[in-house]
Amino acid sequence: MSTRRYVFLDPDGMAGGWLYVVVEAPTGVFYQQQYGGTACRQGQVEGYLVPVFGPDALDALRTLFEQHFRSAGTWHHSWTAQERDRLRDAVEGITFWACDGQTEEPHTLKLDENRMADADEAWIPVLTPDGPGVLLWCNSD
């Protein structure tokens, strides 16, 4: 029997305005996500799921990817400085609550600029206080 588990996030596209980070860790649980707008890419990341909050940031992300990039995805896109700044600002508008088992503290997510080649609509590499992760939200297609 396999110890791996697969969770497809929002398989029917009806869940609405959610925003999660999967912190990358060897958990045996793989979260799968359709991303990249109408490009309909399929991604999976192993780790643990953390709900995050940032309604203005989610609006900014959706505006960037759905309007500026016209929901076509950004696979192998050469990001301009202005586009990268917009993405960085949106990501930094999201609160990640870290807890050591006793104390909870809010932290700002950071764009993982070393993994920009992986950045796409509804799939953004980020740095959390718990390590690297992927920021996910409902894909626009």
Boundaries of domain holding 60 = 5-137
The predicted pLDDT at position 10 comes to: 81
pLDDT band at residue 26 using 50, 70 and 90 as cut-offs: very high
d(Cα 107, Cα 110) in Å, to the nearest integer? 9
The predicted pLDDT at position 47 comes to: 98
Q: How many domains does the chain have?
A: 1
| 130 pLDDT higher than 80 | yes
Neighbours of 85 (CB within 10 A): 12
Q: Which of 47, 63, 61 is nearest to 19 (CA)?
A: 61
3-state helix, strand, coil in the chain (%, to 5): 25, 40, 35
Q: Which residue has the tokens 């990039």?
A: 69
Residues 6+ apart with CB under 8 A from 136: 9, 19, 20, 21, 22, 31, 33, 35, 122, 123, 124
pTM of the model: 0.94
Three-state DSSP class for 91? helix
Tens digit of pLDDT for each residue in 94-107? 999 998 889 999 99
